[in-house]
């Protein structure tokens, strides 16, 4: 059995699944429409990243559709490291809930801080 880390805030539940190839998920606090999430979109990710996430197929394919956002951790970390570093003055990556338009902003540094919070939650 893998290690599942969760942190619930007023905005969302953040989930880091440490099993298999590691995944990061966001469940928006809005709960989706009728209890089902409609996924997310990105304000400033770029078409290549959006296409890469669309093509991404986790081991449990159904998991991709059970959260506001769901991705292999390596995809999000690579994107944040290469284009969204606060230390380089780059803007955060903005993930937007398709159900309520709530925005989740991440820089490389803020994502690593969230990971630390998940470890000690």
Domain boundaries, the chain: 4-119
Instruction: State which residues of the chain have pLDDT below 50.
Output: 1
Q: Is 68 in contact with 26 (CB distance < 8 Å)?
A: yes
* Residues facing 14 on adjacent strands: 7, 26
CA 75/CA 95 separation, integer angstroms: 14
**What φ, ψ does residue 36 adopt, rounded to 5°?**
-120, 135
pLDDT value for 61: 67
Q: What is the pLDDT of residue 51?
A: 86
According to the model, what pLDDT value does residue 1 have? 38
Report which of 11, 16, 78, 86 is spatially closest to residue 45, judged by C-alpha positions. 78
The pTM of this model reads 0.90
Q: What's residue 56's pLDDT?
A: 80
- Residue 47's pLDDT is 82
């Amino acid at each position: 059995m893998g290690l599942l880390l969760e942190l619930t805030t007023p905005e969302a539940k953040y989930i880091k699944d440490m099993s298999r190839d590691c995944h990061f998920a966001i469940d928006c606090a809005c709960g989706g429409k009728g209890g089902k999430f409609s996924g997310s979109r990105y304000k400033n990710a770029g078409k290549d990243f959006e296409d890469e996430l669309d093509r991404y197929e986790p081991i449990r394919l159904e998991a991709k559709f059970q959260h506001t956002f769901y991705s292999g951790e390596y995809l999000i970390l690579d994107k944040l490291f290469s284009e969204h570093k606060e230390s380089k003055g780059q803007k955060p990556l903005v993930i937007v809930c398709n159900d309520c338009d709530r925005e989740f902003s991440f820089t490389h540094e803020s994502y690593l801080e969230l990971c630390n919070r998940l470890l000690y939650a």
